[in-house]
Structure 1
């Protein structure tokens, strides 16, 4: 626990950071990261409820790796069309939708290789509380309310499985100074009624005292310091890095665009191939890390007026 302390991370996404209010309009996630574990069932570093859950999820847990940890996330995402003043159904724009999810993730590391598996359960529809959350945010920011929530997707339980493999290059110096760079590639996919897709991509980082992890992008399953490290986190001094990242996805299902699985609902004609790019900056001081990023995505459905864009910030603290 002293060498590999547990961490808590808060991530906030919002397209207001990009000067707009549509599409993936808002998201928030609270993540708890365990220390490196001996195992997932008996290790006393895990609280009793986590060990109990892990007895039922042994089929997800990796074996035979040098380092491993458990990640628990609670998050909400909100999706809206572009015109929030209309009360009628906007047939040629994305549906109103919200998702409230709990994720149980398992990371396992061997040298510069990582595998991460995450099980997501939750709800889409009014039970996600997306409408109430958006109204609260807009009241706080002084923005107008969106008026078309009567047309949001129906309540539907969510069950999704996400898996990725990541490979990190060796850290290399830049010239003779203190700057360093590395590259982190990834490939994986998801299957379930919320998302079914395959993806691959790359992240490049440049900075001072690069962290021994698998990426600074907080939307990645093992990003923002959630992966196990070989040396433990750096608990003193400053470090920083800038990064660029790309991800390409072959999307077979996206409930927020395709509509409910078992009931008739609003839907649009989804694009099967979607690309995303991110630019960001992360800084660490002692036990606290702050990351800021801007994301740019290609159009997700046919007839979409503008390419999606949103901003994100993450605060992570090691105890």
Structure 2
């Protein structure tokens, strides 16, 4: 428990605004709130809940321009091109929790072929370096799997509020384990929109990789969006190791905007992953634990809509995820709601 409170305290300190040293910003940054749940699709199994609160700094000419980056600068200094003056930079801090359960939550002894109970409580630190055409993001997640993740308590609380029965098999969840992941992703935007006003469309392909004792995979995909007054950002991803609050392009690199600040667009997104390891399916790294093994190829297909006011946006999407393990009875559908507020 001391580790949990220490982790949460560190996250709150990182998210808190700092004073002095930085130049007067055009914005203070972007706060992102993400909620994902399979209740949107009328189910309560597998990846059943995800929540994440993320903050990204304003656009920076230099990473040393904000005290939020100070303790991570030795790592950031090693990144190729991150100090190129052609790139804008953002520092990222997040905290989140994911909850996983089997299909049958009534039994006290889950089937060995069903998905294990598991939780993941984590904090994230990272950096973005971007232009008006391409964005790079590198994020490190540090957290805990097992009872330390407080997944059982969080799910019990939500079920009590909604008047649902408690799942009965949490005594069989994965063992406590500290987890670390390092995720990199690159996103492109095409075509180059010099003015974001009126009806436009945009394609945002992406590619990346994640490594660590929690998940190991390579991913590729893209997002297509069409609508009125598109936001000057890099799309609307679901919760994942490389996801963070929106990082809209600002200042001299920002596109011209029309006089009408309200926008609306529809989007469709695909992300395909070649998975080498997934602790939530393969079980704990050390010692015996429940496990079912993972499918090598997994894909997410999502569709939704966004309402944006300047660089602040509200998004909703339904996500279709292909089977993640061989005995899974059906692909999964869950909903995702996000609010990104640039202030």
* Pair in the same fold by TM > 0.5: yes
* Distance change in 2, residues 1:190/1:287 (3 Å): closer
Structure 1 runs, 4 residues or longer, greater than 6 Å off: 232-236
TM-score by length of 1: 0.91
2:219 matches 1:196: no
Note the residue ranges of structure 1 that are not aligned, 5 or more in a row.
Answer: none
Within-5 A mapping of 1:1-319: 2-40=25-63, 42-43=64-65, 46=66, 48=67, 50-59=68-77, 61=79, 62-64=82-84, 65-170=86-191, 178-219=198-239, 221=242, 225-229=246-250, 230-231=253-254, 237-286=261-310, 288-319=312-343
Structure 1 position 90, deviation (Å): 1.7
1:44-89 Cα deviation digits (max 9, x unpaired):
xx3x4x2342235335652214211011110000000011111013
> How far apart in 1 are the matches of 2:311 and 2:202?
22
Structure 2 distance, partners of 1:83, 1:282, is 35
Displacement after TM superposition at 1:269 (Å): 2.5
Asked if structure 2 preserves the Cα contact closer than 8 Å seen for 1:215 and 1:223, the reply is: no
Query: SS in structure 2 opposite 1:9?
Result: strand
In the alignment of these two chains, the number of paired residues is: 311
Distance 1:106 1:60, change over 3 A: farther
Structure 2 CA distance for aligned equivalents of residues 180 and 210 of structure 1: 7
Identify the range of structure 1 (223-232 vs 258-267) with the bigger mean alpha-carbon deviation: 223-232
Task: Measure the CA separation in 2 of the matches of 1:270 and 1:60.
Answer: 34
TM (norm. structure 2) is 0.85
- Cα RMSD between the aligned structures? 2.2
1:53 and 1:75, CA in 2 relative to 1: closer, same or farther beyond 3 A? Answer: same
Q: Return the offset for 1:138.
A: 0.7
TM-superposition CA deviations, 1:229-255 (whole Å, max 9, x none): 432897972111110001110000000
Q: 1:157 to 1:102 in 2, by over 3 A?
A: same
Distance 2:168 2:199 in 1: 50
